[in-house]
Structure 1
Amino acid sequence: MQYTTPSRLSLSDVGNAVPEFYVLKIDKVANQRIKEGRDIIKLNLGKSEVPMPKYVADEMSQLLYDTNRREVVDSQGLFALREEIANEYRTRWGARVSPNNVFINNGTSPFFLSLFLILVNPGEDILLPRPYYPTYVAAATMARANKTFYAIRNGRIDMDELARNFAPGKTRIVFLNSPGNPLGNVVSEEEMRRVLDIVNGQAHVICDEIYDGFVYDHMPRSIYNVYNPDRDQVIVLNGFSKIHHMYTRRLGFAIVPDAFTGALLKFQQHTVVCVDPVTQFGGLISFKNKSKLIEEEIHAEVEEYARRLRDCESLMSRTRLKVIPPGGSFYMGVDVSGYLSGNFPHSLSLAQKLLDEADVAITPAEDFGGTDFFRVSLTSSRVVEGVKRMCEYVLKLG
């Protein structure tokens, strides 16, 4: 007997509206082809090849046998970790925060949805950058918020567009990302001040600073360095997957104003319960060594990514591909508009062909609200080889 699903059991509007996440969809195909013996060069994920520090891994291994610390349950996060984070933001950036303002979660991504749900009513606006990190839009869709945008042009915020699309009373959140994903734009302190002045305390300003250590001028910035705590409702997101190389451990934090710590705590109690204490204690050890980590490893990584960027740009000089210069993160945007026509109406179609015929996995602009560029991860030690394959392929197109 065959059964059919009646229409009354169909997906909800949100279930139908959540967009594709092409970077992971492409990654799944790439991994399958690697299993089949294909030599796929993966330039799609924002994942460093540098391992988590050994002293962190050793600490976490020992904690597995520590029946007291491994069983700690705190829905807001370990107090010692929250205290360490609050201390850094107070002393380094002058933020008016305490451990009570800090929340720990399984990476930063879960905070997008939880913050949108507790701060935005259905139909109200979230003002996002474009290009954007895909999960910003997915989370706004899940929260049934109205998505509006401001452009990133030539590495700078289009302030006129941001001001036009900011609607006091309707825009509940203005979202910043610096250094940016996908294009690596770094929001200057002057831009941060202008955004805060436009908002003027009439909406929450969330700044995703997950790539804060990866800037080519070695001068990290935080919105806390320029905010007015008596006016601005600022939220900072950051985590352990980039500087601390704890990518798959999924550990992130949010620093939020006093006004809604209670609401966020209730949300975490019902949805997270607690983040793995072993991972949190590992994060604590790493965070205490953050300055040393930046000096001894991150600066060298940034210089290596800059070298790879130059080598890739040199290869592309023979083609109609163009580098979109980043100021930070560990990505390189590549303008592919010179090859979009006929068989390749958009970057997704070209990315699919590169995976099929050149064995290069790359993330298309469609993941980020665009149509005419690729995001290339500079973290792969094979990135220059992968870009060479890409160049050889497009040169055959004429």
Structure 2
Amino acid sequence: MADWQTLSDRVDNVAPSATLAVDAKAKAMKAAGVDVIGFGAGEPNFPTPDYIVEAAANACRDPKNHRYTPTPGLPPLRKAVAAKTLRDSGYEVSPDQVVITNGGKQAVYEALQVIVNPGDEVIIPTPYWTTYPEAVKLAGGKPVEVFSDAEHGFEPSVEALEAARTPRTKAIMVNSPSNPTGAVWSEETMRAVGEWAVEHHVWVLSDEIYEHLTYDGVKTAYIGAVVPEVRDQLIVLNGVAKTYAMTGWRVGWLIGPEPVAKAAAKLQGHMTSNVADVSQQAALTAVAGPLDAVSQMRAAFDKRRKTIVAALNDIPGVTCRTPKGAFYAFADVRELLGRPVGPKGSVAKTSADLAALLLDEGHVAAVPGEAFGAPGFLRFSYALADDDLAEGMRRFKVWVG
């Protein structure tokens, strides 16, 4: 482009999605004929349940579903999300507090746009989902990372949060079960964080999209249930993508105080307007229906979780805690850095270098920890077929040598 064709500072200051970049490179290599095993994208390999697909097909045939819907979503879907919140989270919300969004990412984006002013700070417990800090920046805010290590279960302490708090602190991101670590915050941690937020007038953005994917008898603790007083300053972010294997349907939602919901709907009215009617009809069938499908997927994920953790810990120089939720293994690979690895004796200085080498030479795609604010780690999604998982781990071990 010519010198005068500059892009906005806003977009230049935002990093591309590392998870999508890894997935795109892996797919490009596959298209070129390279046999790549992809552990990058957080996407269940299961099809959307048949009864949900059938509901969408029926909706397609009805001309009334070929039109715009209200911007904040179909009233029956908003009502169903409110009912689902009572069923799963254990507290009541009004349908007027619900806004249906084009996937969970739009819910994150809108929530931050609605509450953050330029210069406001948002505390992000680290490791974090790669989109959080970029969405904060797009709102004009400043992401403030508070790191929690594996030895503490990747759960933040209130002392660390308080040390990071300043007069500009506006909000905190909560994500449990967690992407990328698979950590599930205890009820004690949730209570401490919620009470801290109430005391200091800090908004809480709670991303609960992996809520039904927990293992070993561990249950998701909902901050709005554990600390009822926080609900007046709580924005819940969720969607159908992970629970019902509906990543491509693009239906998420946010739940917040009514002024927040109205503001988010106003913003969405100038961005995308409503979510596709047919997708909303499919989501309505999913949300209002049983959780049998997720139970079956969770059983499969549990088996893969145990397999991948054992395989990773069997690779010299790699250690991995057993995750209690989601479908990610977050492996510590720091012992592989700075020494020869792979058949060519390549030396990786960073986990980003290691991930690139593993993909180029070992044909295994994983996301480097730098994408999550945790250099020295690799994230492996185990939401892939059992045979591919086993083969990918075999390749990783052989490649390390």
Q: TM-score range by the shorter chain?
A: over 0.9
Q: In structure 1, give the amino acid aligned to 2:285.
A: I
Q: In structure 2, give the amino acid aligned to 1:37.
A: G
Structure 1 stretch displaced more, 378-387 or 38-47:
378-387
Q: In structure 2, give the amino acid aligned to 1:177.
A: N
Where does 1:1-398 land on structure 2 (aligned, <5 Å)? 5-6=2-3, 8-154=4-150, 155=153, 156-167=155-166, 169-200=167-198, 202-218=201-217, 219-229=219-229, 232-295=232-295, 297-313=296-312, 316-341=313-338, 343-381=347-385, 382-395=388-401
Stretches of structure 1 that go unaligned for 5 or more consecutive residues are none
> Does structure 2 conserve the Cα–Cα contact (< 8 Å) formed by 1:177 and 1:207?
yes
Relative to 1, partners in 2 of residues 1:26 and 1:93: Cα closer, same or farther, differing over 3 Å? Answer: closer
- 1:246 Cα deviation (Å)? 0.4
- Residues 243-263 of structure 1: per-residue CA shift (max 9 Å, x gap): 111011111111111232221
> Does structure 2 conserve the Cα–Cα contact (< 8 Å) formed by 1:347 and 1:364?
yes
Relative to 1, partners in 2 of residues 1:351 and 1:390: Cα closer, same or farther, differing over 3 Å? Answer: same
> Does structure 1 conserve the Cα–Cα contact (< 8 Å) formed by 2:56 and 2:278?
yes
- 1:200 Cα deviation (Å)? 1.8
Structure 1 stretch displaced more, 87-96 or 103-112:
87-96
**SS at 2:78 equivalent:** helix
Structure 1 stretch displaced more, 33-42 or 15-24:
15-24
Q: In structure 2, give the amino acid aligned to 1:59.
A: A
Relative to 1, partners in 2 of residues 1:294 and 1:20: Cα closer, same or farther, differing over 3 Å? Answer: closer
- 1:61 Cα deviation (Å)? 1.5
> Does structure 1 conserve the Cα–Cα contact (< 8 Å) formed by 2:56 and 2:279?
yes
- Residues 219-247 of structure 1: per-residue CA shift (max 9 Å, x gap): 23322221224775111111111111101
Q: In structure 2, give the amino acid aligned to 1:326.
A: P
Q: In structure 2, give the amino acid aligned to 1:235.
A: I
RMSD: 1.7
Structure 1 stretch displaced more, 158-167 or 352-361:
158-167
**SS at 1:68 equivalent:** helix
> Does structure 1 conserve the Cα–Cα contact (< 8 Å) formed by 2:37 and 2:392?
yes
Q: In structure 2, give the amino acid aligned to 1:353.
A: L
Q: In structure 2, give the amino acid aligned to 1:324.
A: R
Q: In structure 1, give the amino acid aligned to 2:64.
A: N
Structure 1 stretch displaced more, 319-328 or 302-311:
302-311
> Does structure 2 conserve the Cα–Cα contact (< 8 Å) formed by 1:311 and 1:384?
no
Relative to 1, partners in 2 of residues 1:230 and 1:179: Cα closer, same or farther, differing over 3 Å? Answer: closer
- How many residues matched? 387
Relative to 1, partners in 2 of residues 1:350 and 1:310: Cα closer, same or farther, differing over 3 Å? Answer: closer
Stretches of structure 2 that go unaligned for 5 or more consecutive residues are 340-346
Rounded Cα–Cα distance in structure 2 between residues aligned with 1:286 and 1:14: 37
Rounded Cα–Cα distance in structure 2 between residues aligned with 1:215 and 1:114: 27
Rounded Cα–Cα distance in structure 2 between residues aligned with 1:21 and 1:141: 14
State the TM-score, normalized to the length of structure 1: 0.93
Rounded Cα–Cα distance in structure 2 between residues aligned with 1:298 and 1:222: 22
- 1:207 Cα deviation (Å)? 0.7
**SS at 1:51 equivalent:** coil
Q: In structure 1, give the amino acid aligned to 2:180.
A: P
- Residues 161-190 of structure 1: per-residue CA shift (max 9 Å, x gap): 1111122x4111111000111011111111
Q: In structure 2, give the amino acid aligned to 1:228.
A: P
- 1:373 Cα deviation (Å)? 0.6
Structure 1 stretch displaced more, 115-124 or 154-163:
154-163
> Does structure 2 conserve the Cα–Cα contact (< 8 Å) formed by 1:354 and 1:361?
yes
Q: In structure 2, give the amino acid aligned to 1:159.
A: V
Rounded Cα–Cα distance in structure 2 between residues aligned with 1:196 and 1:65: 46
> Does structure 1 conserve the Cα–Cα contact (< 8 Å) formed by 2:309 and 2:329?
no
- 1:94 Cα deviation (Å)? 3.4
> Does structure 1 conserve the Cα–Cα contact (< 8 Å) formed by 2:86 and 2:93?
yes
Provide runs of 4+ in structure 1 moved above 6 Å. Answer: none
**SS at 1:86 equivalent:** helix
Q: In structure 2, give the amino acid aligned to 1:187.
A: W
Fraction of identical pairs, as percent:
29
Structure 1 stretch displaced more, 150-159 or 70-79:
150-159
- 1:25 Cα deviation (Å)? 1.6
Rounded Cα–Cα distance in structure 1 between residues aligned with 2:328 and 2:140: 30
